[in-house]
Each structure stands twice: as C-alpha cells, then as structure tokens.
Structure 1
Amino acid sequence: MQSTNPFKDLPHYLRVFQSYLGSRMYLAFALTLFAGLAEGFGILMLLPLLRGVEAGGGDAGEPATGVAKVMEDMLGVFGWADSTIAVLLVITVAFLLKGALLFGAKGYIAYLRGQLLRELKGELFDCYARMRYRYYVERDTGHFTNVINQQTNLALQAFQTLTQFFTQFISTLVYIALAFVVAWRFGLMALAFGIGLMWLFRRLNHYVRDLSRRKAQENSHLAKLLIQFLHAFKYLTATGQAKPLRGRVTQSVGRLTGYEMRSGIAQAFTEAAREPIAVVAIMLIVIIQLVFTQQPLAPIMVSILLFYRGMNATLSMQGTWQQTLNQIGSLEMVRDEFADQAEHREPDGQRPAPDLAEGITLDRVSFAYDDSLGAVIEDVSVSIPVRTSVALVGESGAGKSTLVDLMTLMLKPQSGEVRVDGIPGSEIELATWRKQIGYVSQETVVFDDTIANNICMWRGDPQRDEALMERIREAARRAHIAHHIETLPAGYQTVVGDRGVRLSGGQRQRLFIARELFRRPNLLILDEATSALDTDSERHIQESIDALKGEITVVIIAHRLSTIRNVDHVYVFDRGRLVEDGAYEALRDDGESRFGRLVAAQAL
C-alpha cells in the first residue's frame, strides 16, 4: 500500500518501470548529470571572463580566490588565461557538449518509452489471453479495454514526466552544488528556498494525485457504458431507448470534465506562479549579496545566473511532478491490473495432449459459479468415445454449456475429474488440447476483416497461396455459404464489418461454422450452432455434420431435437443432473422418458 505522501512513493513508481526496462533506464539520468556538469562548467567559466572584463576596464581588483582561481589556473595550463576569445570558445564548447548530452538523454528516453509501450501492451494482451475464464466473466469488457487502450498510454506519459522530473531534479542538484562552490551562503539560501517551495506545494500534489485516481476509475466506467451502447446499438436505436443510457454517459463525462478542469487549474497555477516567484527570489538574493556579503561583481553575477537556473529547475520540477501525479492513477491501475492478472492466471499443466485417440471422460464432476446459488453441474459422469457423436439435451439452465466448458478445460470442476485420453485435465498443457477443438456457439464470432481471413484466421495470405485458398473454399462449401460469397463483388476478399454487420444472422453463423471446418479439429462442439439458420440452411449444415460422423468426435447442444437424430448417444440433463442417456430412437420411443416427452412436445 502506498503512503499518503506522493514523494515517498517515488522509489515505488521507479521500480514499477524498472521491472519492465531494467537498470538501463538510469543511463538517461547519467547523461543528464553529465549535461548538467557541462553546463555548470560553462557557467563557472564566466568567473574568469567577468574578472577579465573588470581588469580591462582598469580595475585589477583583488586576486582571484576559490573557484575563480581554480578556473583561471586551468586556463593558464593551456596558456589561455589572458585570452577572452579562448574563454568564450571554452564556454561555447561546454554548452554544445551539454546540448549533445541532453539530446542523447531525451532521445534515449524516447527509445525507452517505445520499448515500454511494447512491453506493457504486449504483456497485458498475453495476460488477458491466459486469465481464468471465471475471472473474465466477473469483470466488464470496458475495464479491460480501458486498461490496455487508454490507461497504458497514460502510464507511458507518467513515465515520460517522471523521467523528466528526475532529470530536472539532477539539474537542480548541479545548480545548488555549484552555488555552494561559488558562495556557500548563497547555496544555503537556494537550497532552503527550494525545499520550502516543494513543502508549500505538497497539498496541491496530494490533490492532483487524488484527481488522477478518480479519472482512471471514471474512464473505466465510461468505457463500459460506451461498449454496452455500441453492442446494443441496433436494439436501443430501433426501440428509441438510447436516451436513458445517454444520461448515464453524460453524467460520467461530466465527472471526467470536472476532474480535467481541476487538474488543469492546478497546473495553470504552478505555471503562472513560476516567473513571479523566480523574480522575487532573485531580487531578494541580489539585495542580500550586495548589502550584507558585499561580494565582488563577478561572483554576484554568477550567483544570480545560478540562482535563476536553480529556481527555474525547481519550479519546472514542481510542474512536472504535478503532471506525473495527474497520470499516476493510470500507472497504479496498470500496475494493479498486472497484479490481478498474476493472481487470476489460468493454471496450466505440463503434459502435452496427444491427438485425441481414446475419448473424453467426465467422472462425477460438480461445478458451481457461486456456492450460495447451488451447483450448476452436480455429480455428472459422461463418456465420449473418440470419433463418436453425442448430444447434450435439456431445458435452459440444465448445465449443458457449463459441461462443455469443463470439456474444453475453460472451467475446472470443484469435485470429480475431467480426463482426455486418460490424462487428468489438471495435468494437460492447455494450448495442446484447445488447438484440437472446434467450437461453434449460438453467439457468432466474426471479425472485421475479409471473409477469407475470417475462415483461415490469418494463417497466411489467401491471395498468394492457392492451396490455402482452396482449403478456404472447401470449408465454405461444406458450410453452405460458398454460393453467397461467390455472388459478392469482392468475393472472399469482402470485408464483413464489425462483428459481421454486413452479413445476415444466418450468413454469420455459416461463416463461423466454415472457420471451424477449415481447422479440421479432432473435437467439434456445436452449441446451438444452427439455431439462427433457416430450415433449408439448417438441413444443409446438418448434412455436413452427419458427414463428419466417424471422422471426428462431435458434441452437440441443441434445443431443436431434429438436429440430433443421427447422433450415437444422447445425454439428458435436468437442473445440473444427468437424468437419462441412451440411443436417440430408444429414448424417443420410451413414453416414460423425459427425452420422449421433449420429442413429443416438438412433434418430431
């Protein structure tokens, strides 16, 4: 848990970025330090330059002491002690070197920012691909979209401003250190003033960080509302019910607007206060130097320059720190998301699943999403031999889809065991099992891309690979959508739109089926796969499914029992329990069976 003082959390925020970039991020700070030292050297060279100007005016003044003497002796080694042009050239080279080093530091930070973008978004995507299915269904999609799209971008801005803060902090230290070298009393005043200034701004820093956290949370809420609106666009527009949701969106936008305005006002105050504070401080230091210390002109001029630089760096540091705090809520959200994903990562086994050769067994499995609501599946045993077809039948809520999720190992049973070819599900390397599975659900999955890419899932370039294209056509023919595709002007290169909006419901479903047939899976799961199809299309798809009999293992969930007439075995469920099973004809002709009553109700 972070402290209430933002400055105390600085090391923690640095460690967050270091965990992705390693210690190489500190190279930028080293380059900044050398840039500050080069600039400081150039400023200190003003001491012999100003003394030379005084001497040229006929006033030799007192002999040089302290740092002025060191600089003059250094010039004397090269024979430049009496050359004003040489001193000017040395100052020019110092500032050119400072510019080159600063460019290197800023360029390297930009490079690290690009690396961080790749690390954060890439790793977040990988985390989402490996998270537990139960954790996914418990969260809203808007949260995940907000984190990976918006909050990671703001976290990158936090990295940019945080590194800028530290470079300004290094510059401030250099100026104050040089101030001590030139005049230690002045250095003490500069240090005290800088500390006092940061202390005065501490309440404002707390306020800005709190606003940042609220903005991050509100952005997640707004993303959820917008995704809900877009997903339900057709329904809400057709029924004129968009207005209530718009009210909620407007409220969320209003809160975000307030947070942005208050953050902007805080930033504007810091920016506006910078120059007046610097001028007042300089006037005070000049008066003190002239009236109380009575120093020569050269140290006073250099002190003024150092103080001005130090004040600007300090005030810039405060402004940059506020910008960092303005995005720190996003950084904390991304950090917490990685921690949550680590906690809810799907456990994986170590044994690769061989090509399905024996079958799938569910041995007395039970499962509940919430213990207080009771079990969805209770003490169910099912055996599915390889290359057979089975049907899971029952009313809505009977647990059929949950049983399928147990077969795919998306869900883990609370008791009992799922085995694939005799291997316990907990020991199976999930990727090796799931690549063998074809899954067609009632809710179609179609991507905003071409028809060809929707079928082959970007396994190559269909326009250049004729063998791949022929596989795509074959899958489309077997799914009885080829005739429609070939009537389109762009054919298989037709872009179907977001979630297949340019296709009818039945066409989307057949495209979905074509993709799974293209994959040539060992296990094909059809979860109400033909429910959106017309009678003729359903008949053609049923013929395609029947043609797979004996080739692959098929599991069918269906309410329309006409689609399961040719399966090898039927399992009937009621309220999470297996109540009967057997061959289709045997159960249908048994007047006392639950399945027989279901068939009679559909007049089959």
Structure 2
Amino acid sequence: MTPPPTRLRRILRLFRPYRARLASVAALVGLSSLVGLASPFLLRAVLDDALPHGRTGLLTALAAGMVAVAALTSVFGVLQTYISTAVGQDVMHDLRSAVYARLQSMPLAFFTSTRTGEVQSRIANDIGGMQSTVTSTATSLVSNVTTVLASVIAMIALDWRLTAVSLAMLPLFVWISRRVGDERRKITGQRQRQLASMSAIVEESLSVSGILLGRTMGRSPALVDDFTRESRGLVDLEIRASMAGRWRQSTIQIVLAAMPAVIYWVAGLTAAGGSPLVSIGTLVAFTTLQAGLLRPMVQMLGTGVEVQSSLALFDRIFEYLDLRPDIAEPAHPTPLPAPRGDLRFDGVGFAYGVDGRRVLDGVDLAVPAGSSLAVVGATGSGKTTLGYLVARLYDASAGRVTVDGVDVRELSFADLAAAVGVVSQETYLFHASVADNLRFAKPDATDAELEAAARAARIHDHIAGLPDGYDTLVGERGYRFSGGEKQRLAVARAILRDPPILVLDEATSALDTRTEREVQDAIDALSHGRTTVTIAHRLSTIRDADQIVVLDHGRVVERGAHEELVRLGGRYAELVARDATALSVAR
C-alpha cells in the first residue's frame, strides 16, 4: 500500500492540470467568506446604534447591506459549485481513461488470471465511489477553512476571551474525527472488495453463456443463493460504514450546539458581578459568528472522515495504475512500412512466469512469405502459444520471433497488428450491428468493401437475408449467429484487415463437418497469397500445407509435408490414424 504522504501527494497531482480553475474557485471562496463576515458587524451596528437611537436612515442602509451580502454569497456559491464540480468530473474522467488505457496495455496473461467483474468494479464502483470526494471535497475544504479562519479572526476582533472559550474543545474534535476516518477507511476497502465480488458474479452468471450453463446444469437456484449471500454481506458493510463513529460524531455536535449557551452563560456571569463583559450587539454578533463557525467546523470534520474513507478507493485505483505490462512497446520501434510476411522462429522458448512450466523449448522454424505452416500436436504441446508469440500476445522467454528479419519486440504495436492477423476458435462479436463488427478491423471501410469481404468469407448471402442486412444487431457475443456463421464473420473481419501474416488458431475445431467445409472455404480464400500459420486440431484441414510440424512437450519432433510425414510412420502418422478413426465413428 502507498504510504499516506506519498498517496496524498499523488492525489493532489491529479488536480494539477486544473490549477487555474481551482485558483478561481479559491478566489470565489475567499470573496464569499469575506463578504459573509460583514453580516455580524452589520447586525451589531443595527442593535447598538441604529435601533437604540432611532436612526432609520442607518437602519435602512444596514438592512440593504445584509440583503446584498446574502445575494453576493449566493452567487459566489453557485459559481464555485459549478467550477469545482466540472473539475472533479474532469479528474474522474482522467482516472477512468488512465485505468482503461493501462488495462488495454496489459498482456493476455493478466486477463487470464483476473476476473472480468473485478476489472469492471475498479472502473465503475471504485472510481464512481470517489465522485463526491473529487467533485466537492476540495472546494468544501477550501471554503470551510477560509470561513473558519475568517470567522476566528472576526471573533477575536469582537472579543478574544469569548473566542478562547469557543475554541477550547477543538483538539478533541480533531482527534475524534481522525479515529472515525481510520475506521471508515478499513470498512470502505472491505465494501469495495465485496462490490467487486458481486460484479464478478453478475458478469459471469448473467451473460448468455452463464445463463445457459446455469439452466442446463440446474444451478440457477444455487447462483441466486450465492448472489444473495454476497448482497447480504454488502448490506452489513454499508450499515457498518454508515454507523462508524456515529456516536462520537453525535457527541461533537452536542458540544458544538451547547457552545452558544456557554457564551451566554459566561457573559451573564460577568454582567451579574459588575459591568457587562460585552455589549448586547457584540454578544449577538459573536454568537452569530460562532453559529456560522460551527457549520464549517462540522463539515471540515466530516470532510476529513470522507477523505480518509476514500483513500481506500484511491489505493485500489492506484494499484491498477501501478501495473507494469510485461509486454511494452519499444521506445524506438523499427519501422515496417510494407511487410512481406517472411516469418521465422529462432531458438524460441517460452515459460509462463519466472518459474513456470516450460511450454516451448528451442523451436526453430522458417516460414517464407506466402507459404503455409501447420502446427499439430497433443493438447498442451504448445501449439496455441507458438501462434500467440507471432502476434506478441506473449513474449518469448528465449530466442526470437521475426517478421521480415525484424524481432517482433522491436515493432510498434500498430505495425505488428497491421502485419499479423489472428482468427481464433472462439470468435468474439460486440453487441452491435454486423457492419460495426466488421468495421472494427477497418473503421473507414466502405459498404462495398464490407460486402466484398463478406462475399470472400462466404457469409454475404446470409447477412443479406437478415431483416436489417448489415445493420442487424448480432446480440451479445454474437449469439444470434451459429458457430460457423460467427467464424465466417471473423474471417471477413480478417480479410478487411488484410494482414500479410495470418494465424489460424484451431478456427474450425468446434464445427460440424458441413459447417467446417464452409468455413474452410472462407479460410482458403483468406489465406491465398498470405503467410499462414494454422494451429490444427482436425488434420483434414492442413493436408495441403507447405510445411507441417509436430510439437511434443514444446519441441519440434517432426516436420515435412503431409505425404512425407505419413510415410515416416511417426507421431504425425499416429495423429492421422486417430483422426480417421474418430471421423469414422462420428459417421
């Protein structure tokens, strides 16, 4: 956790871009406080001079002054509220954007080990929970501090002895507020973790896949029980957060409310023993100032508690902002303006984590531009990892992967994305129109380009037959489309992207034979003239590959063309025989 002084400096740095506007808020607060201080003195003049001596002209001027003071402070208050709220919302926008940008830069490994609901909760619940702190706390603090200081100075000017009596309890109030703030900060951290857990349950169980799984497994009642339990835990934490230190704060309010009575009592005792300590006008003006002092003091104490509570939220946000991506864009990338698609693996090794299991070991492969490579092997042999290294979803632990002789780690992310396209087994579609999903690959694509890509992917006729054609919403994660249709949409998207290197990660393994042929036709059209790396599950799809390699525990154990490897009678021949047996059984 960040040390408190460092944390506070970091929070203050969030407001640095808005110094000018904050300075204007401070100026408005100062003017409002100074103008507001005139009222008690005007009141004293009314009670001590205008009324006793019947000076109606003076009384009219003093009354008009009181009205003017109220009007000016109201105008200043509206302006400072608007500016401070705008600054606070800008700071929240900056935080949301910074967290989202940092998460976009994180490697795939981060998301495979983090629940999606947790990520969403950081952006929505944590940043949303600090809204009042960043939008109003700074202004409230400046306003109340200014008001308190100005009021104390005015009270001293009226009578320093009554001022000393009024401020005697202040250290106790500060101590109590700090204790309450510490307690609430701990509870706030627990509450945000509970919210994150609830968000994860909602995201996972109320998605289309979650609903299907819950219904078909008969687990819907159990999921309801899990959510109810988490929600009940949140209720308890909310009550604890609301009641934390409430009795101690009530004590503060009682004492503050009793202070005017103490002032009357002190002034009355003095008057009973001889000449009065102060005039009636001064006493009324002093208690008016004191009453005005109590409100900002209570608000300051409450602000302190709120700031301490929000520190737990800032800690969670800073935790994400402090994440350092394992895969970073090079400071001085090597340009690759017109990639040919020549791909090489030079002594490539990979392991998950520092001490993780080695997935690839000493892989040497050359894939000339325009040729095709198929990678086969048992589950866990490292096939998918090899493909992901090309797109730099992971970085090689040893050796290097090059495109046209340039290490992919030396390329900018934009150049690498332009050079390498990936079509995976699980096609992800946004809850948007077909056209919008296709244009995700090329935002400036024309309607004609969309149609040409869809025709090449053998999906145009199906799209054209939809009620709204290319404007049809695909539904969450594309659930209005079959697996084969989604795969062909993914192929169309890759065609629009037009990369010279294509990685096909078991793109047809989950499809039936007929649909597989349709998708394979689309993939063949996409692969023409490109360097293609196919991660194969069904060997029938890769018989015509220029080069086939067999991986076993991360090592290349066989390589060659289909006929050559079958004649060799090794691992590939075993896989072909197994594939043929499975196909005959399925028939």
Structure 1 length-normalised TM: 0.88
Instruction: Decide whether the 8 Å contact of 2:21 with 2:83 is kept in 1.
Output: no
Corresponding residue number in structure 1 for 2:273: none
In the alignment, the residues of structure 1 paired with residue 130 and residue 380 of structure 2 have an alpha-carbon distance, to the nearest angstrom, of 43
Task: Map 1:468-479 to 2 at 5 A.
Answer: 468-479=446-457
What is the SS of the residue equivalent to 2:446? Answer: helix
Q: Deviations over 1:151-175 (max 9, x none)?
A: 1111222213422234223322222
1:600 aligns with 2:586: no
- Pick from 590, 594, 597 the counterpart of residue 568 of structure 2: 590
1:211 aligns with 2:211: no
Corresponding residue number in structure 2 for 1:508: 486
Taking a change above 3 Å as real, the CA distance of residues 348 and 247 of structure 1, as seen in their structure-2 partners, is farther
Corresponding residue number in structure 2 for 1:74: none
1:362 aligns with 2:370: no
1:227 aligns with 2:209: no
- AA aligned to 1:40 is L
Instruction: Decide whether the 8 Å contact of 1:388 with 1:549 is kept in 2.
Output: no
Corresponding residue number in structure 2 for 1:71: none
Instruction: Decide whether the 8 Å contact of 1:158 with 1:328 is kept in 2.
Output: no
- AA aligned to 1:417 is R
The alpha-carbon deviation at position 346 of structure 1 amounts to 2.7
**Same amino acid, percent of matched pairs:** 26
Task: Map 1:447-458 to 2 at 5 A.
Answer: 447-457=430-440
In the alignment, the residues of structure 2 paired with residue 9 and residue 188 of structure 1 have an alpha-carbon distance, to the nearest angstrom, of 35
The alpha-carbon deviation at position 271 of structure 1 amounts to 7.7
1:136 aligns with 2:91: no
The count of residues paired between Structure 1 and Structure 2 equals 572
Instruction: Decide whether the 8 Å contact of 1:393 with 1:557 is kept in 2.
Output: yes
Q: Give 5+ residue unaligned stretches, structure 1.
A: 59-80, 462-466
RMSD, aligned CA: 2.6
- AA aligned to 1:44 is F
- Pick from 285, 300, 314 the counterpart of residue 263 of structure 2: 285
- Pick from 135, 158, 181 the counterpart of residue 133 of structure 2: 158
- AA aligned to 2:522 is S
- AA aligned to 1:170 is T
1:89 aligns with 2:46: no
What is the SS of the residue equivalent to 2:15? Answer: helix
In the alignment, the residues of structure 1 paired with residue 548 and residue 3 of structure 2 have an alpha-carbon distance, to the nearest angstrom, of 61
Taking a change above 3 Å as real, the CA distance of residues 160 and 548 of structure 1, as seen in their structure-2 partners, is closer
- AA aligned to 2:232 is G
In the alignment, the residues of structure 2 paired with residue 529 and residue 3 of structure 1 have an alpha-carbon distance, to the nearest angstrom, of 49
- AA aligned to 1:192 is A
Taking a change above 3 Å as real, the CA distance of residues 561 and 343 of structure 1, as seen in their structure-2 partners, is closer
Instruction: Name which of structure 1's ranges 166-175 and 292-301 shifts more when overlaid on structure 2.
Output: 166-175
Instruction: Decide whether the 8 Å contact of 1:352 with 1:433 is kept in 2.
Output: no
- AA aligned to 1:383 is A
In the alignment, the residues of structure 1 paired with residue 412 and residue 441 of structure 2 have an alpha-carbon distance, to the nearest angstrom, of 24
1:46 aligns with 2:8: no
1:329 aligns with 2:312: yes
Corresponding residue number in structure 1 for 2:26: 29
- AA aligned to 1:595 is Y
In the alignment, the residues of structure 2 paired with residue 10 and residue 588 of structure 1 have an alpha-carbon distance, to the nearest angstrom, of 64
Corresponding residue number in structure 2 for 1:404: 387
Instruction: Decide whether the 8 Å contact of 1:176 with 1:190 is kept in 2.
Output: no
Task: Map 1:60-79 to 2 at 5 A.
Answer: none
1:187 aligns with 2:163: yes
- AA aligned to 1:217 is R
- AA aligned to 1:598 is L
- AA aligned to 1:568 is D
- AA aligned to 2:534 is I
Corresponding residue number in structure 1 for 2:330: 348
1:442 aligns with 2:439: no
The alpha-carbon deviation at position 368 of structure 1 amounts to 0.5
In the alignment, the residues of structure 2 paired with residue 113 and residue 17 of structure 1 have an alpha-carbon distance, to the nearest angstrom, of 10
In the alignment, the residues of structure 1 paired with residue 327 and residue 356 of structure 2 have an alpha-carbon distance, to the nearest angstrom, of 25
The alpha-carbon deviation at position 444 of structure 1 amounts to 1.4
Corresponding residue number in structure 1 for 2:216: 238
The alpha-carbon deviation at position 394 of structure 1 amounts to 0.8
The alpha-carbon deviation at position 321 of structure 1 amounts to 3.2
1:100 aligns with 2:80: no
The alpha-carbon deviation at position 274 of structure 1 amounts to 6.9
What is the SS of the residue equivalent to 2:551? Answer: strand
Corresponding residue number in structure 2 for 1:65: none
The alpha-carbon deviation at position 297 of structure 1 amounts to 0.9
Instruction: Decide whether the 8 Å contact of 2:390 with 2:420 is kept in 1.
Output: no
In the alignment, the residues of structure 1 paired with residue 527 and residue 484 of structure 2 have an alpha-carbon distance, to the nearest angstrom, of 24
Corresponding residue number in structure 2 for 1:533: 511
The alpha-carbon deviation at position 374 of structure 1 amounts to 2.5
Instruction: Name which of structure 1's ranges 537-546 and 118-127 shifts more when overlaid on structure 2.
Output: 537-546
In the alignment, the residues of structure 2 paired with residue 358 and residue 402 of structure 1 have an alpha-carbon distance, to the nearest angstrom, of 19
Q: Deviations over 1:329-366 (max 9, x none)?
A: 222211222112x4656343522333322511111011
- Pick from 140, 143, 151 the counterpart of residue 167 of structure 1: 143
In the alignment, the residues of structure 2 paired with residue 522 and residue 496 of structure 1 have an alpha-carbon distance, to the nearest angstrom, of 28
Q: Deviations over 1:365-415 (max 9, x none)?
A: 111104544200111111121111111111110101111111112211121
Taking a change above 3 Å as real, the CA distance of residues 48 and 42 of structure 1, as seen in their structure-2 partners, is same
1:199 aligns with 2:175: yes
Taking a change above 3 Å as real, the CA distance of residues 568 and 418 of structure 1, as seen in their structure-2 partners, is same
Taking a change above 3 Å as real, the CA distance of residues 306 and 343 of structure 1, as seen in their structure-2 partners, is farther
Taking a change above 3 Å as real, the CA distance of residues 345 and 249 of structure 1, as seen in their structure-2 partners, is farther
What is the SS of the residue equivalent to 2:290? Answer: helix
In the alignment, the residues of structure 2 paired with residue 541 and residue 409 of structure 1 have an alpha-carbon distance, to the nearest angstrom, of 26
Taking a change above 3 Å as real, the CA distance of residues 106 and 385 of structure 1, as seen in their structure-2 partners, is same
What is the SS of the residue equivalent to 2:422? Answer: strand
- AA aligned to 2:499 is P
Structure 2 length-normalised TM: 0.90
In the alignment, the residues of structure 1 paired with residue 10 and residue 494 of structure 2 have an alpha-carbon distance, to the nearest angstrom, of 46
Instruction: Name which of structure 1's ranges 331-340 and 493-502 shifts more when overlaid on structure 2.
Output: 331-340
- AA aligned to 1:29 is A
In the alignment, the residues of structure 2 paired with residue 453 and residue 226 of structure 1 have an alpha-carbon distance, to the nearest angstrom, of 26
Corresponding residue number in structure 2 for 1:564: 542
In the alignment, the residues of structure 1 paired with residue 6 and residue 304 of structure 2 have an alpha-carbon distance, to the nearest angstrom, of 12
The alpha-carbon deviation at position 267 of structure 1 amounts to 7.7
- Pick from 93, 100, 111 the counterpart of residue 86 of structure 2: 111
